[in-house]
Amino acid sequence: MPEIDWQLLNLDRWDSNIKLAICSLLDANDAPLDGAESLCGALESVRDLFCLMRHFRPLRTKALRDFDAAIDDRTRPQDGGYCELCWRVSIRSSRLQELEAQQRYEVGEIVRSGQCQLSAEEQGAKLAQALMLESCLKLAPSCTLISKAEAAKLRLVFERFRIDRILAGNLSDRYCAVHKPGSAKYHADLRYKAAFQHHLSALSGSGRSEFAFNFRPPSAADIQEIRKVAYDQVHSGLHVVTSRKAPSLGLREKVWLMHQEGISQSEMARRLGISRQAISKARKSLESLMNTHHAGSYINPLTGEAQVPDPARKAIRDATMKGLSITVIAKELGLSKGTVDGLVRLMKSSRHA
């Protein structure tokens, strides 16, 4: 076995040991024991470090003679990574997206600053030629619209952003900015991790849902919207999902199954040993729950948070200024707590930017 692969195998073994250590610090509901929150966060950070170290491969190695071009894969194009606890992109992916947008803007500024009288078609061609320089060591003869001075400026921009991308590789690819290990939100949602991942499998068709009443993805849903469905589902409170025991259906799910069979409310009440009023309340709660999910099911591709009408955003902003809690705001507007929490965080970050 090449030395580098042996070292990576050792990393996997250490990662398994740390996972066991983290499990020993959790109670039956997968929540950290009293006083163990900081240690759990620190161990998760070590796992993030191991994940990062797996990407490092030596530029040259005696173990493999033909391995000279094996460069750290953080410098290569990467697909978007998502948080293990929700629908948001990881901290690393978010930073890479920001760098991509910033680089494209700066390239466009250089291209536009040197334009004389070019048609719209020529302007588009010049921008395309400029972007080609990122992967070309020298300007191709066909790039007649870019001057040597512009090419020199562009190469400096591409080199600066290449370094920034390498630095971005140090950021977490497992969690988003909301779920940084050690934060309160991280510990609150960590208990739902297994259920969240399981329901994602169910939505992709590779698993079976543990819920009797399931939310449906919105029309033409993208990856983030499907992940938002899974997040809302496991946080819906339909039944306990944080226990290691086999899940048992809640009252609302039992009522839903009987409703699907065409059983009357009177018969439901008799079978479940509760009043008809309780059955009616359970059905109304299901309807409200579905409406709450639908109200925040579409994701804004620019912000990564739920797409809600402007009046709702204004109401959230006003309620936040009054000091109302996330729970109260969500109940008043008919939105889920996860949706409101994300929008409040987005508004706060926009004010600080």
Mean pLDDT for each consecutive 10-residue tract of the chain (353 residues)? 64 85 85 88 88 65 40 45 94 92 90 71 79 67 72 88 88 93 93 95 93 93 94 95 86 95 94 95 95 94 92 95 95 95 92 68
Residue 333: the pLDDT is 95
| Tokens 């990467």 sit on residue | 78
Rounded to the nearest 10°, the torsion over CA 320, 326, 327, 331 is 60
Residue 133: the pLDDT is 76
Q: Rounded distance, CA 199 to CA 76, Å?
A: 31
Q: Rounded distance, CA 119 to CA 112, Å?
A: 12
DSSP-derived secondary structure letter, 82? B
Q: How many residues does the chain have?
A: 353
Q: Is 337 exposed, middle or buried (0-12, 13-18, 19+ CB in 10 A)?
A: middle
Contacts of 52 (CB under 8 A, 6+ apart): 169, 170
Per DSSP, the three-state class of 26 is strand
Per DSSP, the three-state class of 140 is coil
Residue 56: the pLDDT is 66
Q: Rounded distance, CA 166 to CA 331, Å?
A: 43
What is the full DSSP assignment across 160-228?
Answer: HHHHHHHHHTTS-SSS-STT-TTSHHHHHHHTTHHHHHHHHHHHHTSS--S-SS---PPTT--HHHHHH
| Tokens 């048992």 sit on residue | 248
| Tokens 């971005």 sit on residue | 168
Query: With contact defined as beta carbons under 8 Å apart, do 264 and 337 qualify?
Result: no
Is the pTM above the cut of 0.75? no
| Tokens 């606890």 sit on residue | 85
Q: Rounded distance, CA 248 to CA 259, Å?
A: 18
DSSP-derived secondary structure letter, 263? -
Residue 68: the pLDDT is 35
